[in-house]
Amino acid sequence: MSSDLFASIKEGDEYAFTKKDFTRTDFARYAGGGGDFNPIHHDQTFAEKAGLPTVFGMGMLTAGILSRVPAEWFGPTSVKSFGIRFKTRLWPGDDVEFKGIVKKVYEEDGVTHADLDLTAITGKGEVLIQGFSTVRPWSA
Amino acid sequence: MAEINPPGMPIERGKIHEFANSIGCDDPLYHDAEAAAAAGLPGVVAPLTYTSATAFFQPTDAPNLIKDLGLDMRFILHGGQEFFYERPVFAGEMLTAEQGETIKTVKEGKRGGSMQIFDSFTNYKNQDGELVLRVKNTLIQTGGVVKE
């Protein structure tokens, strides 16, 4: 589906989107979707007892959204690897920009591959997640 | 509340649909079996981090890294996660998680105390024994409670 894209991809190309105003409902929806029912992510009373101002988002919620960068850009079946490092926490009300940039384009076994650098950065300029991905065309 | 987890990880279209919505994936290939079939795929595609979500639904007798390593839950941070795909995961498969090796490294922290870093590897195979993906999970045990 993305063979034309792989033919024209070059170093420095970018893809980004922003999700504004994360809510506790976003956390609750991910708890149901992903199965993470750690109360630190949905229970205000529990969070306060743990010394936090409020609940914070699951790392794998923002990681999942960041994984959409290579998947939307190159297609859901074109991702060969995806990795993340968690840097700080996501709070309700945060805006987050999810971004990818092509770092390197190369041939491996006659197939075009691209290595991407990925970041999730809050509206306050804090890095939430640093990530990487390698993409290449794949067919069933 | 009881948590009952039978063996294996069935990859199901309805669960993929719910998970995909929870992270905002709107490509029909995650949601619509007909769209997936039209694209020549055996089923809807699981989003890239789907297996780490279903890790919460693993069989109760599956290896529990935190328990096996004797880590203190209060001082554990999830440092990161890496996924290496042989190919996409599709609805209709039955995956099994096999715990691989765990590598421990010790790092001196900037704010006092040392950190123990555990990189553990899990192989996900399907019902035919085919390796579908490998996952590296990084857990960090700090010397004490981490303040921001």
Residue A101 sits in which domain range? 3-22+57-135
Give exposure, A29-67, as e/b (b: 16+ Cβ within 10 Å): bbbebbbbeeeebbeeeebeeeeeeebbbbbbbbbbbbb
Asked if A83's CB is within 8 angstroms of B81's CB, the reply is yes
List the single residue in B20, B82, B88 with the smallest CB-CB distance to A77: B88
Q: Nearest-CA distance from B147 to chain A in Å?
A: 10
The reported pLDDT for the residue numbered B71 is 76
- Shortest CA gap B78–chain A (Å): 7
Chain A interface, mutation test: which of B3, B48, B60, B93, most A Cβ atoms within 10 Å?
B48
Q: What is the pLDDT along chain B (148 residues), one digit of tens a residue?
A: 556 666 788 999 999 999 999 999 999 999 999 999 999 999 999 999 999 887 666 655 555 677 777 777 667 788 999 999 999 999 999 998 888 889 999 988 776 678 899 999 999 999 999 999 999 999 888 876 554 4
Instruction: Please check whether residue A11 lies inside any domain of the structure.
Output: yes
CATH number for the domain spanning A91: value is 3.10.129.10
* Residues found in chain A: 140
0.90 cut: is pTM over it? yes
Please list every residue in chain A whose beta carbon sits closer than 8 Å to the beta carbon of residue B79.
85-86
- Which chain B residues are closer than 8 Å to A83 by Cβ? 80-83, 136
pLDDT of residue B112: 61
**Minimal CA separation from B97 to chain A, in Å:** 17
Residue A44 lies in a domain: no
Residues of B in Cβ contact (< 8 Å) with A63? 49, 81
Q: Which of B24, B77, B82 has the CB atom closest to A81's CB atom? A: B82
End-to-end C-alpha distance for chain B, whole angstroms = 33
Residue A89 lies in a domain: yes
pLDDT digits 0-9 by tens, B107-117: 887 766 788 99
CATH class of domain segment(s) B9-141: alpha beta
The domain total for chain A is 1
Half-sphere CA count of B97, side-chain side, radius 13 A: 26
Residues from chain B contacting residue A1 (CB–CB below 8 Å): 39
Chain B interface, best mutation among A26, A27, A82, A116, by max B CB count within 10 A: A82
Q: What angle do CA A42, A44, A50 make, to 5 degrees?
A: 100
Sequence letter at residue B68: D
Q: Report, as ranges of residue numbers, the positions in chain A whose pLDDT lies below 50.
A: 1
CA dihedral B55, B57, B62, B63 (to 10 degrees): 40
**Subunit contact A65:B24, Cβ cutoff 8 A:** yes
